[in-house]
């Protein structure tokens, strides 16, 4: 009915209006989310979703260097650790005085119950700390 009110010069549009959506639908091939993610690199670091353990952070990818930041930067399944760039010496602090025993040194980014100071000569007494003779 609406089309009958239009001048003859634009009546051809009614066919386009009905045919165009059908033609576009024939051109689109739906893909699954898994296929979509496989070809995507959301953070632009050169690694696709399937190979990148955090595809929304360009600093995290299989070629990244692991640094002390509580993230798995290089996608190896480990967060920080002794071989991490920036790991420092830590000493077990058994008495909780903020000073550890020098003989208990380990390399890591951070260790609970440890201190970056290895100068406690009696780690069983919290009143004895650093600067021991």
pLDDT in tens, 70-114: 999 999 999 988 889 999 999 999 999 999 999 999 999 988 999
Instruction: Write the DSSP string, 35-80.
Output: HHHHH--TT-SS--TTT-S-TT-TT-STTSPPBSSSS-TTSSS--S
Q: What is the pTM of this model?
A: 0.56
CB 72 within 8 A of CB 79: yes
């Amino acid at each position: 009915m609406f089309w009958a009110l239009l001048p003859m010069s634009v009546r051809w549009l009614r066919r386009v209006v009905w045919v165009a959506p059908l033609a576009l639908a024939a051109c689109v091939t739906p893909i699954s989310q898994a296929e979509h993610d496989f070809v995507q690199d959301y953070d632009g670091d050169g690694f696709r979703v399937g190979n990148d353990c955090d595809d929304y952070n360009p600093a995290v990818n299989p070629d990244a260097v692991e640094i002390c930041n509580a993230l798995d930067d290089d996608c190896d399944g480990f967060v920080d650790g002794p071989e991490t760039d920036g790991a420092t010496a830590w000493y077990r602090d058994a008495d909780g005085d903020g000073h550890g025993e020098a003989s208990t040194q380990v390399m890591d980014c951070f260790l609970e119950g440890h201190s970056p100071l290895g100068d406690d000569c009696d780690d069983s007494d919290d009143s004895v700390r650093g600067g021991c003779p």
